[in-house]
Chains A and B, each alone.
Chain A
Amino acid sequence: MKKPLRYAIIGSGAAGTEAACQLRLRDPESEITVITASKLQFISRYDLPRVFEGVDDWRELLVYPPEFYEDNRITVRRNTWVAGVNPRENKLNFRHKEEMSYDKLLVASGGGGYMPEALREFLPYMNPFSTFSNAARLRDSLGKKGKVLMLGSDMVGLDLARYLTSAGHDVTVYANELLFWPHEIKPEDTAPYVKALETMGIKVVFGRKPVAVEPVNSSSKAGKYTRRLVFEKGKAELANVVMPFYGLMPALDFMIGANVDIERGLLVNPELKTTNDRIWAAGDVCQIWSPEENRYSFYYGWNNVKEMGHLAAHNMTGDNREIKTAQTNELKITKKGELHSPYWEHD
């Protein structure tokens, strides 16, 4: 009997999970291991705002119940960090000093929030928003009618902002030119979209550059607020939480030394294969070669990410299909005058 192939997938998000499902369908005998830093099984980022609608138990947010992984023999190694990839021996090195062999590897580690160098030291006082625990902590910090200051912002942040405002919180965005990233809107064209945001109750402030985030004692005259956002020239604003949204940065540190080409993301051909024959990539982590445009580009959005996972699995199991974008990039304003982005859509 042939030895079953071992597939390793780094990342349990939309791309990684979709790939795992497809791999199981296409190679029933194989061993499939998904590696994720998350403690929980796959929860869609798009479902996290449901926490503000009263969802208290993360189990309600699981995309697939635990039995799904059991039934499909998909091992999800959670709370696990890949420290490096050894392309000569086809092994992953975990941070906890264990190796794991693979025959084929899919990197679907997604993107983490990008943070400008100058603000990195203030990370402990800012609230990220990519996991259930982030969402739960945000909800607990806000209480009722909380105040949120968003830095930079992007379509991920604005997605959250619209949920927060409709949940009764006060959201102010200190915007820069990338306010609508990854939509590419020229600065002179932003006005209607900003107006649409204000229609939705989201305040947008341009031209103020945050330089520091500090904790404040909530028992002092700061009232219920626990954070102070300091701007250039010393002005400051108090709030419950400060959240950074400066776009996504592919999570790729562990791929350094893996003998694959990296620019901002992991460079793949249209079939999503890297420069290593056994390694593919999918999702927000990869930069895909476009022969038409003669450049590498990112394909964001739920549908794109899912499609990449799907395609990568098929190509890892013998197909040679090329990726086509699965969604538009058009930012719209609805009849109600509100903003709508295809990046806010998901299953």
Chain B
Amino acid sequence: MTNIGAPVYLEEKLEEISRSGRLDYRSKSLPTWCPGCGYFSIVESVTAALNRLEIDPCETTVVSGIGCASRFPFFVNTYGVHSLHGRALPVATGIKVAKEDQTVIVVGGDGDAFAIGGAHIPHAARRNIDITYILFDNGIYGLTKGQASPTSVLGFKTGTSPFGNQDRPLNPLMMLLSHGASWVGQAYAGNPGHLSEMICQAIAHRGFSYLHVLSPCVTFDKTTKTYKNLGMMVRGLPDDHDQSDVMAAMHEAQKTEQPALGLFYTENRPTLGDGLNEISRRSQAGS
């Protein structure tokens, strides 16, 4: 799986994009990420997915925390909350509980999610709140100019780990599977076609969907999670992978040396909104 395909001509592409309606989803602000950042392709994929799913921009809210990835809401023409470091999920929970008909997408980076915001993930997952969490994992703190993150590899030398990162990286897919996320998938910024497809599925899923996107930081990580390295490491899930088998999903998630792309696990179960509606129904019946 590589991103090398047929040549693309700019005029044709612009024409195609303009006709597609995808521009309705783009804001007038240009992304502030470094040239070559994996996050560009994620913006593209999200807008493409919303367009494909025919979700009105005003019916969509994108929520983020703090970090490079969290600038995301400014670059799309939906409603957005650029909140606090680590707090995107609870803000999104508030939005979704208050306004069930909004499509709520949370975007964030690995530090935002698994360091400062780590306490919120299990609860969003177990409640099965119907939001989509797109996690941009570059294994580094980029906005603060290069420090170790919870997914940095062992030995990674950064500004705050000059002698090498000594903490074992987390395995986000294992965490999400064990927390009870009802849709867990993985994609790679270097494969925008697959990424777009996965984002589409994640948004379409009814319940808490977690998409882990491997995305290189071209500025502060020249050695570990680079396009070159990741491109060589990623693989597809086995053809016979059973997406309803959480044990199989965990088995695949353990293979961190060769991250698999695709849908690891999915199930259908009542969402937080379903539960709250049921409480409402029962309380009104009882009163």
Direct contact of A and B (CB under 8 A): no
B residues contacting A by CB (< 8 A) are none
List the interface of chain A (C-beta within 8 A of B).
Answer: none
